[in-house]
Structure 1
């Protein structure tokens, strides 16, 4: 059985400074909503299109060179790099923070939990 390669590094870029991401969760909402109507079948008949949303939950390590102003992040770029040279990068552009939390542990470095929204997703 051959070895498989998986997705590589994930980097958050804020004002040209790269921040290492430890954990990332991505939620995409389509914006579609169920349209209920009063009909004899007693069930919905369709949906309405809405505005799509991209929500990111990231845990980042605090850089030794100085902590960033995490609450003021606007226009950041989060990129998921493929392994090797053969894959395509997945980037989330125009990210901004909506929530910031601190996390400390006995065996781990100081970390920040960030909730971000992205305005668009690009496959490069």
Structure 2
């Protein structure tokens, strides 16, 4: 059996500026809705198409100086790419911030939790 290599660490860029992140999570909602009808089978009839959504959650470390103004982000491009060669870049376009939070722990660095939304996804 051949040894396979998997993607490891990634880098997040916001409008070309590299951001130190601890984690990120992307959830894509298809927009489909279950259609329930009253019928003798007692099962749903199918689905209806709707509007797709892209939700992004990012945990970023807070630098001593030079932090982004996360509250003001509108129309940004978030690009995620692997550090090792061979992986594809994924960009989320027209991103905007929904929520910004901060957390501090005794054992670690100060962090910022961000909720964002994107209008498009492009694999480059």
TM-score between the two structures when normalised by the length of structure 2: 0.86
Instruction: Assess if the C-alpha contact under 8 Å between 1:7 and 1:81 holds in 2.
Output: no
- 2:69 is matched with 69
Structure 1 segments (4+ residues) deviating >4 Å: none
- 2:100 is matched with 100
SS at match of 2:82: coil
Instruction: Assess if the C-alpha contact under 8 Å between 2:80 and 2:90 holds in 1.
Output: yes
CA distance in 2, matches of 1:122, 1:10: 16
- 1:11 is matched with 12
- 1:80 is matched with 80
Instruction: Assess if the C-alpha contact under 8 Å between 2:71 and 2:100 holds in 1.
Output: yes
Instruction: Assess if the C-alpha contact under 8 Å between 2:77 and 2:95 holds in 1.
Output: yes
TM-score between the two structures when normalised by the length of structure 1: 0.86
Alpha-carbon deviations, 1:31-58, whole Å to 9, x = none? 0001111211111111000000010110
Instruction: Assess if the C-alpha contact under 8 Å between 2:11 and 2:18 holds in 1.
Output: no
Task: Provide the aligned length of Structure 1 versus Structure 2.
Answer: 123
The root-mean-square deviation of aligned C-alpha atoms, in Å, is 1.9
Instruction: Assess if the C-alpha contact under 8 Å between 2:93 and 2:119 holds in 1.
Output: yes
Instruction: Assess if the C-alpha contact under 8 Å between 2:27 and 2:55 holds in 1.
Output: yes
- 2:49 is matched with 49
